[in-house]
Amino acid sequence: MSQTGKFIVIEGLEGAGKSSAIERVNAWFERHFPGQERVNTREPGGTPLAEEIREIWKRPREEPMANMTELLMVYACRAQLVETVIKPALARGSWVIGDRHNLSSLAYQGAGRGLSKEVEGLSEITLGSFKPYLTLYLDIDPKVGLERARGRGELDRIELESLDFFERARQNYLSHAAADARICTIDASQPMEKVQQDIEDALAEALL
Ligand code: TMP
């Protein structure tokens, strides 16, 4: 399937400010590419089936979820979203703005849960060479990010993890960003205005 649109992904730990960043990215596109079709997705989720899995997946429960179950469910969601929403949208020339994608699995299930080999294997099976055109990674110290996320109310199954888990995830994000020119790190600890400016600068550099 030929790909004519571009897939732009926003990544980051809890409390990094993804939601405001995504609003800003959408506003930027509206300004620079008015009338251009845009599809917003989130992972896990983004289709009715994947959203149902997300709900089961995120909810804390008495029965502990095995790490492999967590991993397979997230890739089931991703396969559904990529095949039925993202690839068709790109093929008809739409932009796709993603709230998380495969890098989250590398960071959370790979580094966080210690399943890097399994994540690599599933990435290959599920995505092959499919990759975002650009990823904006919002970098935040997990102590600061979790404090913000906790201020928002009840915690989901992942947010209940230890600080160590999130430290490992952060280091993984940073090492991928350092090795891949298509992943741009934004310092999310800066004042909101500066974060938003950095986001716009990164979009302009990659897309204008
Ligand atoms: P969020 O969309 O509100 O950020 O919540 C998604 C949660 O799921 C967040 O804690 C990160 C986690 N997650 C993974 O552990 N692996 C993944 O592959 C994805 C997409 C999300």
- How does pLDDT run across 13-56, given as a tens digit for each residue? 999 999 999 999 999 999 999 999 999 999 999 999 999 999 99
Residue 152's pLDDT is 85
Ligand 1 site, CB within 6 A? 14, 42-44, 74, 99-100, 104-105, 108-109, 158
Q: pTM to 2 decimals? A: 0.97
- CB proximity list for 81: less than 8 A, separation 6 or greater: 41, 43, 45, 46, 47, 50
Residue 187's pLDDT is 98
**Average pLDDT of the segment spanning 77-90:** 98
199 phi-psi bin (left φ>0, alpha ψ -120 to 50, beta other): alpha
Residue 114 has pLDDT above 90, yes or no: yes
Given the CA of residue 105, which atom of ligand 1 is nearest to it? 18
195: pLDDT confidence band, cut at 50, 70 and 90?
Answer: very high
Take atom 18 of ligand 1 and give the residue whose Cα is closest. 105
88: pLDDT confidence band, cut at 50, 70 and 90?
Answer: very high
Separation of CA 60 and ligand 1 centre (Å):
14
Tokens 């979009």, located at residue: 203
In the sheet where 134-139 sits, what is the strand order?
A: 38-42, 95-99, 7-12, 134-139, 183-187
Phi, psi dihedrals of residue 203, rounded to the nearest 5°: -65, -45
Instruction: Domains for the chain: give ranges and CATH numbers.
Output: 7-207 (3.40.50.300)
Substitution candidate for ligand 1 out of 108, 135, 146 with most atoms within 8 A of CB? 108
Percent of all residues in the chain with a pLDDT value above 70, rounded to a whole number: 99
Residue 112 has pLDDT above 90, yes or no: yes
Instruction: Return the SS3 of 1.
Output: coil
